[in-house]
Amino acid sequence: MRRIRNIFWIILAIPFLINLSGCKKDEDPFKDGLEPNNNRNEAFELTLGEQVDASIAKGDHDWYSFSIETNGIIDKALIEIINLTEEMELTAVLYDSQGNQFGSFTGNAGINMNISLSTRSSSYYIEIYDKNSEQEGKYELTITLLQANDSNEPDDTFEDAHIVDSYPSGVITGTILVNASDDNQYGDFEFFVLSVDVDKKVDFTLTPDADDIKMNYKIFKEDRSVVVEETEGTAGQILQASVGSGSGGSMTRYLRVGATLGDTGNGNYTISFTQTDVK
């Protein structure tokens, strides 16, 4: 069974790939072609989606750098460390572009490791070594950008809000990859801008896909002042609310949608809008 480790962290390349070949008799079989990469300054630069075949000698530390470009959209990168030599208990440590550590994971002997990194555009370092510095062996490392967010992105700011100007809107699908709320201001929000006609109201229904996600919403005026404070549902709850113009004239409102994810990490949801008369 694979042991899976996950991290959800928000922080806000194209070198050649060395193909390893067999060693001569007098060569160290655990000194690979990626060396020297024993510290951050010597980190071997990875290309996303390309596998490197690496070796670790006793007491060795392997450092790698990688860059992720998402045009500012939150996305997920999958770090896979597989096909380990049976006796090795590898530790993988993640650092930001300044060398600040923000995650550390240790697997069981010989067990593959999967680490999920939620990120905006940034650069990172990963350090890999045997936990006890006593074993030597081989492993394969691949980092892949998953393109896990929804097709409405970018829509996590007022400026990039998804425009809803005709009703019924039909069902709009979305994904929240990272917790987003008043308490998590750097999360994966979804903004919608609503045009509400005079003497009309816009009703919306917000439906989570998973039973362990808590959806929330907050409503703003056109000047971005708050109309309705953040309202959060219980796990799996469908939220419904209305935005009405009354007789004062047509208006514009912003709807901010966020969520607190559960253990499943499933942030998928649907939302739909209808416009009816104000009674």
Asked if 224 and 158 count as a contact pair (C-beta separation under 8 A), the reply is yes
**Does residue 227 share a domain with residue 175?**
yes
Q: Is residue 152 part of a domain?
A: no
Task: Indicate whether 130 and 166 sit together in one domain.
Answer: no
41 secondary structure, DSSP code? G
- Residue 244 belongs to domain spanning: 162-277
Please, are residues 256 and 187 in contact by the beta-carbon 8 Å criterion? no
Domain shared by 7 and 128, yes or no:
yes
Do the domain assignments include residue 153?
Answer: no
Here the CATH number for the domain that contains residue 13 is: 2.60.120.380
Per-residue pLDDT of the chain (279 residues; tens, 9 = 90+): 444 444 333 333 222 222 223 334 344 455 667 778 889 999 999 999 999 999 998 889 999 999 999 988 999 999 999 999 998 999 999 999 999 999 999 999 889 999 999 998 899 999 999 988 788 899 999 999 999 999 999 999 999 999 998 999 999 999 999 999 999 999 999 999 999 998 899 999 999 999 999 999 999 999 999 999 999 999 999 999 999 876 667 899 999 999 999 999 999 999 999 999 987
| pTM score | 0.80
> Of 112, 145, 178, which residue sits at a domain end?
145
Asked if residue 46 and residue 174 are part of one domain, the reply reads: no
Q: Are residues 137 and 13 in the same domain?
A: yes
**Tokens encoding 201:** 């109201």
In a domain, 50, yes or no: yes
Q: Are residues 23 and 134 in the same domain?
A: yes
For the record, the structure tokens of 183 come out as 């308490």
Strand residues in the chain grouped as ranges (E): 3-6, 44-45, 52-56, 61-68, 75-82, 90-95, 101-106, 113-119, 122-130, 137-145, 162-164, 171-175, 190-196, 200-208, 214-220, 226-232, 239-244, 251-260, 268-277
Q: Residue 150: CB partners within 8 Å, gap ≥ 6?
A: 173, 174, 175
Amino acid at the residue 18 = I
Which of 84, 112, 145 marks a domain boundary? Answer: 145
Nearest to 217 by CA among 181, 253, 266, 168: 181
* 156 within a domain of the structure (yes/no): no
Choosing from 120, 145, 170, the residue where a domain stops is: 145
Residue 15, preceding bond cis, omega within 30 degrees?
no
